[in-house]
Amino acid sequence: MNNLIVLIGPTAVGKTDTSFAIASYYGCPIISADSRQMYKGMVIGTAMPSEEELKKHRHYFVGQLEPGDYYSAARYETEVLALLEKEFVHHPTMLMSGGSMMYIDAVCNGIDDIPTVDDDTRALILKKYNDEGVDSLAAELKLLDPDYYNEADIKNPKRVMHALEICYMTGKPYSSFRRKEKKERPFNIIKVGLRREREELYERINRRVDSMIGQGLVEEVKKFTHLKHHNSLNTVGYKEIFKYLDGEWDLPFAIEKIKQNTRIYSRKQTTWYRKDEEIAWFHPDDIKEILDYIDKKHI
């Protein structure tokens, strides 16, 4: 049977270097599971692999979308499964690495068969979001689908907008389509998680943000000012710099907010992963132990 290694961990934990080591060991490409690294030009703020690294290690799902393109976990599931079917012919072991929880879950467990949203409905909800903001949409979601409202991240525009799109289009609550039934996969899944002590991880986050600023994050964000209303740019590192560019915050405060929001996101990731008992946890420095574990789990 073919094997899919799934490398998981909070932001800044060290997934990139570990993924390179695993990919080199097995001679396989890397499937990125980072929902923001898919967008062109978002290089510094997403810690996208460098051109040199991309040449050395073949990557999929990196820099392929325009910032305004619509994308979803359901589409990711479909495209990754199709890619794996082709790649397994040449690489019986493949590697997927990233920190976007919904995307990883979609590939490993499947995503519910939720109706595809038509263009008119998507445009309507987007206009409401641009005119009224996420709080207004969340209030409407509470009326149309209180069950999903009570469990969703209602500050996440993408989640709220998609749920409302389904409610509008079908006349039914979004939660009625979410059965969460695990789908069987025709390959073996080996989940490896990376973790560090909280103080160590937070220090790495702080250093990485400082490094991003030094590499030119502000200049990178400036290029997207006219596109900042797109969901792809409503992400940590970009939304804080937009506030600086708009004159709402000074730069030192914006930098501190990036660090704070990145730490918050890392905690959300850790909480999500903690629910999955299939993940074997390692420190990123223990690469020999990681490879030994993967070898033993091969089928």
Per domain, the residue ranges of the chain are 3-111+181-297, 119-177
Non-local (6+) Cβ contacts of 200 within 8 A are none
Q: What is the CATH number of domain 119-177?
A: 1.10.20.140
Mean pLDDT for 64-87 is 93
d(CA 130, CA 288): 50
CATH of 3-111+181-297, picked from 1.10.760.10, 3.40.50.300, 3.40.30.10, 3.30.420.40, is 3.40.50.300
Are the C-beta atoms of residues 95 and 29 closer than 8 Å to each other?
yes
pTM: 0.84
pLDDT confidence of residue 146? 94
pLDDT confidence of residue 98? 96
- Predicted confidence (pLDDT) per residue in 188-241, tens digit: 999 999 999 999 999 999 999 999 999 999 999 999 999 998 889 989 999 999
Phi/psi for 192 (5° steps) reads -120, 125
- Token pair of 15, please? 């997934």
Mean pLDDT for 149-178 is 89
- Predicted confidence (pLDDT) per residue in 251-282, tens digit: 999 999 999 999 999 999 999 898 899 999 99
What residue type is 63 in one-letter code?
A: G
